[in-house]
Chains A and B, each alone.
Chain A
Amino acid sequence: MATTTTKTETFVGKRIRRREDPRLITGTATYVEDIQMPGMHYAVILRSPHAAARIRSIDTKKAVSAPGVVCVFTGKDTKGVGAVPCGVAMPDLRVPQHTILATERVYFVGHPVAVVVARDRYLARDAADLIEVDYEVLPAVADPEKALAKGAPAVHPQWPDNVAFTYHQDGGNIDKAFAEADVVVKQRIVSQRLVPMAMETRGVVAEWRGADRQLNLYTSTQIPHLVRTIVAAMLGLEENRMRVIAPEVGGGFGSKLNVYAEEALMGYVSMKIQKPVKWIESRRENFTCTIHGRGHVDYYEVAAKRDGTILGIKLKLIQDVGAYHQLLTPLIPQLSVLMMPGLYNTQNIRGDIIGVFTNCVPTDAYRGAGRPEATHGIERMVDILAAELKMDPAEIRLKNFVTKDKFPYPTATGLMYDSGDYATPLKKALDLVGYVKLRQEQADLRKQGKYMGIGISTYGEICAIGPSPATPAGGWESATVKIEPSGKVTILTGACPHGQGEETTFAQIAADELGVGLDDILVIRGDTAVVQYGIGTFGSRATAVGGTALYYALQDLKAKIKKFGEMLLESDDVSLMIGQVIDNKSGKAKTFQEIAGAAYRALKLPPNTEPGLLATRFWEPPNFTFPFGAHIVVTDIDDETGQIKIRRYVAVDDCGNILNPLIVDGQVHGGVAQGLGQALWEQAVYDDNGQLVTGELTDYAVPRAQMMPWIESHHTCTPSPINPLGVKGVGEAGTIGCSPAVVNSVVDALSPLGVRHLDMPLTPEKIWKVVAKKN
């Protein structure tokens, strides 16, 4: 019999290299595209080249008779398939019918029109070119503010004003706050559309097994269980006849926190042709047809006293929805309104959202989802206020922070911040960067006509999403822990981590709780036929919610192990330690193998105890968690080229207890890269006709190695009281903290030129124009 290692060392909190890595570094992991099946066919989707058009006719004859082609389906064929759903319910939400293939009209460039199925991907692609679609091109609108203007083309003819939804939230007494203010600062701030650009594009393999009435769907997703529930309903298939597998997933960042037309479409195709079918999104399709993020135009007003005390914040938020709602589209800007006050102690807010239809691909969750926009807004406004009052940006923040003694702190937006100590990371970051000296240096450089800036952002975020009443689909998470008859430990997690490292951190938690070695533990995720129902990985929730479900399942299991230990040791005073149960009186012990053996052999059972060693918990979090931190960015600007050089990037993040510092730093680095991408380079640009101009990696500048500064990553630790692990979540911190720190730094550098605000991305051209104009 295999032995289970017992050990006294603990794993939580250590820099442990990841257990998922061996398959990834040897090229033996299985992503969707790696799946091959006998008889497998390939699908290619024909998409609209127009942003708005009526489909007069589709002629598929030539394509159908092309070599290797099995069939072609259009919107007429798939009429019986349910619509792609919006998962958010709101009063007055306008939800356009989102069919999986276009029927009468197309609404954005990339809108799926037909699917060609062939025995080879090259032949499918050839045949797609042979489909003739007669379009009557209609006027399009791609800019949300233009879409709101009178006389703009209607994206959906039934709603000529292009308003998709509105949302209003008031807290405290905003009118009084503004009436009493010494100063009011206002600014229009754009948080531009971004392309999530996971390195693995989306992809689906559908395998219909007719004799079993069973549909197996392999899809690159963050939420396999939700995909199963929704796609089964779309296809009219019983949910228990569908199995969704998220194999290795090559990055999501929110873009795979969705249910897409292609997932149902491939299910439909496989059921029709009775063969497995594979569709892999091209990079071009990924740019044009997978959700985008952000897409805000924000109008901020902040009221304050002359001493810098913030009295109230108003925000009018225009959200570019795109042509449809995807799963969570209308929810994302609501997170921005919830986060409006940031870390500051003001009880007066007013937030108004207008969601606007445009002839673009829908927006939805992208790393941070609503919170980077909110943080960017408030952190820019605080700097603008500081400049107006000639205050130091660090000082004005310290003055307005919710202080340490105020937690749990109820915000004006109805949240309850769990724990916090906002001054500590800021002070630490100021120390690390050498703030006082830098300000002196800046004064000297300014005398020489040089532009150097110091930018601060102090951010908070809503993580561990989230209590079920606050989410559209349940905010709990599940975990099962089993001790197998041999004593080995298997964990099934309903969260579906895909790069965040929970195969390692969950093993660390279980190893410490049970006193076994990491190698005794296997973490399984991402298969609805194996894992009990779960919600998924997004919103920095996998560890804080899924890890907690695991923690409680472990407690249940430990109680059962003890019972068997008591029985075998004939003692009522036992403890569980280092992989065994010990009789506290005699010192005699039973190993896990012996206990597992007894529990499964079941010759004798403890009173009121069933055989086997397994525990499942569905944990409902009582609240979100609220991580926070301070990022400081020092920039030097070349006034001849407009190039921004980041001299220092100091990040002090407080994500509560840290289970694995190596993984946490990796999350911070990756998050910062995406924040920096938004701040400096990335932007999804649609022209007036709704063509995506930045639809390839040549035109859409994602950060590359030589573009990234060295990130000095540090931490403070304020455990969350919301979960027994004390963790808060760290997946989005870097992204949320980053962009305002960068923009504040550049604006600070250029402030001698009278610059007060710049919209992202801060391309060299944009900066050069500012400097050249003033010189």
Chain B
Amino acid sequence: MKINLSINGKSYSQDVEPRLLLIHFLREVAGLTGTHMGCETSLCGACTVELNGKAIKSCTMFAVQANGAEIVTVEGLANNGKLDPVQEAFWNEHGLQCGFCTPGMIMASKQILDRNPSPTEEEVRHGLEGNVCRCTGYQHIVNAVKAAAAGAGK
């Protein structure tokens, strides 16, 4: 099946197998390996990307379902070498260790801040419910999201 979609502002037009998962399209067809597969079952959030402005899990969506969509992945956040404030905050606050959950965490965090520019600790934790990190204990991630919120408000 032929699909057309845009990823990080770039258009792709491609013949794909109907059962190809969106995450495999991103990683293997578009070569954007920042989006990770952590569980394949919608439970860990490592594969989170933005689709038409909404955070979704790309492991449980077929590429064909994304026909016509605009997708942003972690690779699309930095602008001309300038990090997105959420990326910068994860760096400053040590919001990552092994880094495997990080792209998904950053995409989920952006969504939290899009919906609520100054979330409480509770709200941040709740918003990250769908994303598992096995390394950080989440505290520095919470700090990062709050720091990004504070920075963006300036």
Contacts and interface: CB of A to CB of B under 8 A. Distances in A.
A250 interface: yes
A501 B97 contact: yes
B114 interface: no
A499 B83 contact: no
Given A34-B33, A704-B132, A251 B90 contact: no
A487 to B, nearest CB: 26
Interface in A236-294: 248-251, 253, 280, 282-283
Interface string B51-88: 00000000000000000000001110110000100010
Nearest to B96: A24
B98 A21 contact: no
Contacts of A407: none
A398 interface: no
B36 interface: yes
A536 B53 CA distance: 43
Contacts of A24: 96, 99, 102
A26 B78 contact: yes
B33 A33 contact: yes
Given A27-B32, A199-B101, A708-B139, A18 B132 contact: no
Interface string B94-136: 1011111111001000000000000001101110110111111
Given A250-B98, A670-B97, A283 B38 contact: yes
B38 A698 contact: no
A388 interface: no
B132 A28 contact: no
A382 B118 CA distance: 45
A470 to B, nearest CB: 28
Nearest to A671: B137
B134 A702 contact: yes
B43 interface: yes
B98 A499 contact: yes
A200 interface: yes
A122 B23 CA distance: 13
A673 B137 contact: yes
A696 interface: yes
B118 to A, nearest CB: 18
Interface in A623-675: 662-663, 665-666, 668-674
Contacts of A662: 94
B125 A17 contact: no
A199 B91 contact: no
A756 to B, nearest CB: 30
A200 B96 contact: no
A33 B28 CA distance: 10
A34 B98 CA distance: 15
B149 interface: no
Contact of B94 (A17, A23, A280, A697): A17
Nearest to B144: A25
Contacts of A607: none
A458 to B, nearest CB: 21
B40 A282 contact: yes
A705 B98 contact: no
A705 B138 contact: yes
Contacts of A25: 74, 83, 87, 90-91, 96, 99, 102-103, 106
A58 interface: no
Contacts of A17: 91-92, 94
Contacts of A670: 97, 134-137
B46 interface: yes
Contact of B97 (A197, A500, A696, A705): A500
A18 B94 contact: yes
A672 B137 contact: yes
Contacts of B135: 199, 251, 499, 666, 670
Contacts of A28: 34, 75
A711 B137 contact: yes
Contact of A199 (B40, B44, B141): B44
Interface in A273-328: 280, 282-283
Contacts of B98: 198-200, 248-251, 498-499
Nearest to A280: B37
A29 interface: yes
Contacts of A697: 39, 41, 43-44, 132
Interface of A: 17-18, 20-31, 33-34, 36, 122, 197-201, 248-251, 253, 280, 282-283, 498-501, 662-663, 665-666, 668-674, 696-698, 702-706, 708, 710-711, 734
5 contacts: A199-B38, A200-B36, A251-B134, A666-B94, A669-B139
Closest 7 CB pairs of A and B: A27-B34, A250-B100, A24-B99, A669-B137, A499-B98, A673-B137, A27-B74
